[in-house]
């Protein structure tokens, strides 16, 4: 099976323009980019896709062995790049997908014109021994995963609004809740462990392509210290703090998110 059908790859926008590839985070699919895509299509070729196990991907291609680590997802990203053969892409990775971009660019830097790491976290768990603050204690994450295992739909209803933030706009939290609830619970349990237990801090220094770290001004999932850490570990990277709040700026502030991506891509061409 080709990657286009396996990952429900869509290509739109300006033919021959710089290529921007959008990768969604946990519990989501490419629909989460729908407000950003039209703003990027004016200037760029836009590639969006669903991770295997999400959205309209081929669920039969998912296995707990292949997707037990970020490597399986990273393999898919590189396979999509090769199959489309559109030249070096600017990879925009949201949340856990930011680290997929880090791993992919470290492995095959020539495939990437640059990385935009949107609300990234290389490690969600605090590491008191090194002074690293990821935002959660090990006990916090254990409790989160136990709650998810016990009642995924209930967990989704409780956690999605926290992740989204913007309590004054409850429709955003409702959309993320609905997205979580569309995900197969068995797949979500495996992906949650990959998301919340991975530690990619040592991989950041391996990135050699131009990189923009874009964090939100208030984010319960990836606090400002995390964005600063990522920027400090990726040589030559730049950090921008968006006015947007919450963990999903592509929904909460699509214009600002698209502008940050556009400015970064244009600066490289």
Catalytic residues, by residue number, are 95, 219, 247
Do the beta carbons of residue 251 and residue 123 sit within 8 Å?
no
Q: Environment class of residue 131 by beta-carbon count within 10 Å: exposed (0-12), middle (13-18) or buried (19+)?
A: exposed
CB atoms within 10 A of CB 65: 8
CA 102 to chain centre: 11
> What are the DSSP calls for 22-64, one per residue?
EE--TT--GGGGTTTHHHHHTTSEEEE---TTSTTS-GGG--T
Do the beta carbons of residue 23 and residue 119 sit within 8 Å?
no
Contacts of 155 (CB under 8 A, 6+ apart): 144, 147, 148
DSSP state of 111: G
Distances (CA, A) of 171 to 105, 163, 174, 175, 252: 35, 13, 5, 6, 10
φ and ψ at residue 106, rounded to 5 degrees? -70, -35
φ and ψ at residue 2, rounded to 5 degrees? -75, 160
């Amino acid at each position: 099976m080709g990657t286009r059908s396996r990952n429900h790859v869509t290509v739109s926008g300006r033919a021959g323009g710089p290529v921007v590839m959008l990768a969604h985070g946990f519990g989501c699919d490419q629909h989460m980019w729908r407000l950003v895509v039209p703003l990027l299509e004016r200037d760029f070729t836009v590639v969006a896709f669903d991770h295997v196990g999400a959205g309209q991907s081929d669920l039969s291609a998912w296995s707990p062995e292949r997707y037990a680590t970020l490597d399986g997802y990273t393999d898919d990203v590189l396979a999509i790049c090769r199959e489309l053969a559109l030249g070096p892409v600017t990879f925009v990775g949201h949340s856990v997908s930011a680290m997929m971009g880090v791993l992919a660019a470290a492995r095959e830097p020539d495939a990437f014109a640059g990385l935009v790491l949107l609300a990234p976290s290389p490690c969600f768990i605090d590491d008191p021994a090194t002074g690293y603050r990821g935002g959660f204690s090990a006990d916090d994450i254990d409790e989160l995963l136990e709650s998810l295992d016990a009642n995924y739909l209930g967990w989704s209803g409780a956690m999605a609004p926290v992740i989204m933030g913007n309590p004054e706009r409850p429709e955003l939290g409702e959309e993320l809740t609905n997205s979580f609830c569309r995900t197969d619970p068995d797949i979500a349990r495996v992906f949650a462990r990959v998301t919340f237990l991975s530690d990619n801090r040592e991989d950041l220094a391996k990135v050699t392509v131009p990189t923009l770290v874009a964090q939100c001004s208030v984010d319960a999932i990836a606090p400002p210290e995390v964005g600063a850490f990522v920027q400090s570990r990726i040589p030559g990277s730049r950090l921008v703090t968006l006015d947007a709040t919450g963990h999903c700026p592509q929904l909460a502030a699509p214009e600002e998110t698209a502008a940050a991506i556009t400015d970064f891509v244009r600066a490289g061409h």
